[in-house]
Amino acid sequence: MKTENNEIKLNGNQPSIDAERLVRRIQELGQIGRDEDGKLIRLAASETDKAGRDAVVSWMEDAGLEIAIDRIGNIFGIWRGTDTAEQAPVLVGSHIDTVINAGIYDGCYGVLAGIEVIKTLRESGFVPSRPIAVAAFTNEEGVRYAPDMMGSLVYAGGLSVDEALATVGTDGTLLGEELEKIGYAGTEDPGFLQPHAYVELHVEQGPVLERMGIPIGAVENLQGISWQRVTIEGDANHAGTTPMAMRRDAGHAAAKVMTFLHERAVSSVTPTVATVGCIEFEPNAINVIPSRATFTVDLRDPDEQRLKDEEAALTKYLQELEPAEEVTITVERLARFEPVIFDKHIVELVEVASNHRGLESKRMTSGAGHDAQMIARICPTAMIFVPSDGGISHNPREHTSDSDLVAGANVLLDVVRHLAGKQ
């Protein structure tokens, strides 16, 4: 099979991963970290994260991989091959930390499929021209420690390891101390492996592939993300005795901002999305006008200029709202990531590999943030998506069929085999 420009060719006799082993390990990892109510919770650097890491390391060792851990706790399973030690490796992977009450696929699928790919290649007698490694990055979700995608961000040089290790968690713990406690404060400097390429396999976490009946997404770009915290100050007063025209109602002002964001996004012909995910009122009493409203704004768009336009539109609206509602508004920047354009060659290779397996594919944008967006700073990078039932993720009902999981892993296998093969 080859592309229209005749640049990419795949051997017709491709091996296939052990489907039963992959699915079984996803299920096994999905049971590690269950609380007394059955909720899956493996927050970064927690004891349940340790248990998950221990299982992943044991499976890496079962595949004959050399284990390396860097100072931010990223885990690497490395197949050096023969006479390839000086070559930059093909890197695959994702993360195994979870949100609270998580599903079993997000992140974990990419790590376990990566292990399976290397084990299959080794067992098939494949001789790589460069090392192949699988990574499990620390704190991708960012639930316990901020920012999210921390391990890959540090690895790519976007955040110093010392600053990251000094991060204070939502529970008052220090990340560095917690990594020490669970035995995953490694000695390698982040970035000790400089990848030749990085490919991340992931469940879509959205409804597009399922609704279109397409099994493989060739992810060509990733949305830019803007996170802000908005605080609106008004006056607390009696809900029954204060006339509507005499109120400085922070809650009402916050509602107007949320309505503005929603209406602007739904009326646009662009793929811009806007979300208010967290909100708190003070004093938060049923019969008191809110004196303060604090809420988050999540803006995303795959085009940098459009994302800037949305940020500017919000700023302008808040400036107009402040005197109109007689409130005081302050804004704090929480995170800002520019859109990422993935490597065209690898995206095309994903399409070719899909066709080679008889699978339809679709080029698409990732609406969620992933470790791939950080690693794209240091090497050619792309992602492979498989469908998510109902588009559900970050939820115990998250599900992808075994057949789709296996199909995606086999496409990853073919992509890695090409990237690490004799060129």
pLDDT above 80 for 422:
no
Pick the CATH number of 224-337 from 3.40.1180.10, 3.50.50.60, 3.40.30.10, 3.30.70.360: 3.30.70.360
CA separation for the pair 386, 202 (Å, rounded) = 7
At the top level of CATH, the class of 19-222+339-419 is alpha beta
Least Cα distance to 198 among 396, 418, 375, 404 occurs for 375
Over residues 384-403, mean pLDDT: 97
411 vs 422: which has the higher pLDDT: 411
Question: What average pLDDT does the segment 343-364 reach?
Answer: 97
Residue 51 CA to residue 109 CA, distance in Å, equals: 17
Q: In 10 A of CB 328, how many CB atoms?
A: 14
- Residues 229-270: pLDDT tens digits? 999 999 999 999 999 999 999 999 999 999 999 999 999 999
- Give the pLDDT score at 335: 86
- If pLDDT is split at 50, 70 and 90, which confidence band does 274 have? very high
**Confidence at residue 355, expressed as pLDDT on a 0 to 100 scale:** 97
Q: Is it the case that residue 208 has pLDDT exceeding 90? A: yes
pLDDT value of position 391: 96
Q: Please count the residues of the chain.
A: 423
Helices then strands, counting H and E runs in the chain, come out as: 12, 16
| Burial class of residue 264, CB neighbours in 10 A (0-12, 13-18, 19+) | middle
**pLDDT cut 70: percent of the chain above it:** 96
Global pTM exceeds 0.85 = yes
More confident residue, 12 or 182: 182
Q: Where are the domains of the chain?
A: 19-222+339-419, 224-337
The pLDDT score that the predictor gives to residue 299 is 97
**pLDDT exceeding 90 applies to what percent of the chain?**
93
**Local structure of 238: helix, strand or coil:** strand
Q: What is the dihedral of CA 77, 41, 158, 338, to 10 degrees?
A: 120
Assign 5 a pLDDT band (cuts: 50, 70, 90).
very low
Q: Are 22 and 405 in contact (CB under 8 A)?
A: yes
What does the pLDDT read at residue 85?
67
Residue 289 Cα to chain centre, angstroms? 38
Q: Of residues 147 and 151, which shows the higher confidence score?
A: 151
Residue 10 has pLDDT above 80, yes or no: no
Confidence of residue 9 (pLDDT cuts 50, 70, 90): low
Q: What is the pLDDT of residue 214?
A: 98
The stretch 377-397 carries a mean pLDDT of 97
What's the rounded Cα separation, in Å, for the pair 100 and 37? 12
- Distance between CA atoms of residues 388 and 211, nearest Å: 10
* Mean pLDDT rounded to a whole number for the chain: 95
Task: Give the model's pLDDT for residue 397.
Answer: 97
Question: What does the pLDDT average to over 399-423?
Answer: 94
User: Which pLDDT belongs to residue 11?
Assistant: 62
| Band of pLDDT at residue 8, cut at 50, 70 and 90 | low
